[in-house]
Chain A
């Protein structure tokens, strides 16, 4: 690990003014620093900031502090009652120990698990822009099939952000200039293009302070389905956060976000449009899957993700509309 300067911030304002890399739970950043994939010169400890509360909003939604641990968020009674998909996604991620430390803000910003990104002897455009991408012709079983570029095919590995994408969460930040920004999650992550090292629209040094959840959709059924190589403590190959509501025999609401398929939680409005107003049937579900995967492109080892995503989507829709 490279040497760094360590500072504990005592307020969000002081944290952004300090001009360094934030450390919250540390479960991703320390791992990457130990391998010298990340080499910050200054660490700002934000773990003691007063941002660990979950609060009711007047509109029936919730405001989640950026430092709320994943365990506490998953176990919160309001989250279980109103946003079951979020609890389920959190509980499907990592382990009990990691969830106790991992924070809401850190989980959103966790970096890819691409093996070549972790291996400093390999070529990786995300780690060293312009170096090339060893995943394209290498082992790419865990890599993305949607939203990729010639420069990078890595996935966002998270579960929680997939549920937040289906719930239309809003990410609230404090910029180094002192401004508060509200960023809908749909606009938060960037696709790799030719700058895979830039993963979100955050400015350097911008602090996530909260995540807001809009009021729950009344009557929607929730599901988080995660397919992985072992039953627990493994990242998703494909995952799906789904909220579906059926009224008078027709699909009235559908919010579907996928993990494991793309460089960001993947939600395609055309897929949802193909379902809304229709009577549930396998034909309708299969047509939605065709739309989802229309542009999908495998790199060899990950080709299985396309039929897998299709089956996950159809099975989930069947379960949610029965």
Chain B
């Protein structure tokens, strides 16, 4: 066992390797934004109450503000910067653009990362509070709202966010069936 208060740490983010010399108090969100210049993930509250900091760790969506960077040195971290690029958008990013799923855009990176993680949960058959039958959840707009409730939007772009996610889900099912 190794005990420490600061020092060199190593991270895998968006498929790239990063080294950082940081205090153990540093949250994963502050590592990304303040130390590595990956400012796509946003800080809305720093208390787990808004979802603006949502990222994917080993494929699962989490709030980057409520975890310590030092605890994630062996993980695969994906942020909005790693989902797609301007020239090659992730299908969820493209759906948000097409449906205008934002106004100011501050919550958007968190919404998109959360939606990607959420559709993976749906594909694994995970139920939600909105599922009448927990063993066989049916995906509909109520499910989208419930499953995305951890992402607040102060501009209240919710209707278009739901449209974007519904379409990205339908497209992912189609491409699965085609494959």
**Which residues of chain A have a CB within 8 Å of any CB of chain B?**
1, 3-10, 14, 18, 23, 25-27, 30-31, 34, 42-43, 45, 47, 71, 74-75, 77, 80-81, 84, 87-88, 91-92, 94-98, 100-101, 231-233
Contact = CB atoms under 8 A, between A and B. Distances in A.
B45 to A, nearest CB: 10
A95 B149 contact: yes
A62 B71 CA distance: 29
Interface in B44-59: 46-48, 51, 54
B82 interface: no
Given A1-B25, A71-B121, A232-B146, A34 B46 contact: yes
B126 A97 contact: no
8 contacts: A3-B5, A6-B3, A9-B1, A25-B67, A31-B47, A71-B126, A88-B129, A95-B151
A9 to B, nearest CB: 6
Which A-B residue pairs are the 3 nearest by beta carbons?
A95-B150, A232-B149, A75-B126
Interface of B: 1-5, 23-25, 27, 46-48, 51, 54, 60-63, 66-68, 70-71, 114, 117-118, 121, 124-129, 131, 134-135, 145-151
Contact of B63 (A10, A47, A74, A101): A101
A47 B71 contact: yes
Given A4-B5, A18-B1, A34-B46, A101 B129 contact: no
Contacts of B68: 6, 23, 26, 30
Contacts of A26: 66-68, 71
A96 B149 CA distance: 8
A100 B128 contact: no
Contact of A232 (B23, B70, B129): B129
Contact of B135 (A4, A27, A77, A232): A77
A304 B163 CA distance: 38
By CB atoms of chain A within 10 A, which of B24, B46, B117, B135 has the most?
Answer: B24
A74 B124 CA distance: 13
Contact of A96 (B5, B25, B70, B147): B147
By CB atoms of chain B within 10 A, which of A7, A71, A91, A96 has the most?
Answer: A96
Contacts of B71: 8, 23, 26, 45, 47
Contact of A8 (B1, B48, B51): B1
B27 A30 contact: yes
A223 to B, nearest CB: 13
Given A45-B70, A75-B124, 15 more contacts: A3-B5, A7-B4, A25-B66, A26-B67, A27-B48, A45-B71, A71-B60, A75-B121, A75-B125, A94-B48, A96-B61, A96-B150, A97-B48, A97-B63, A100-B62
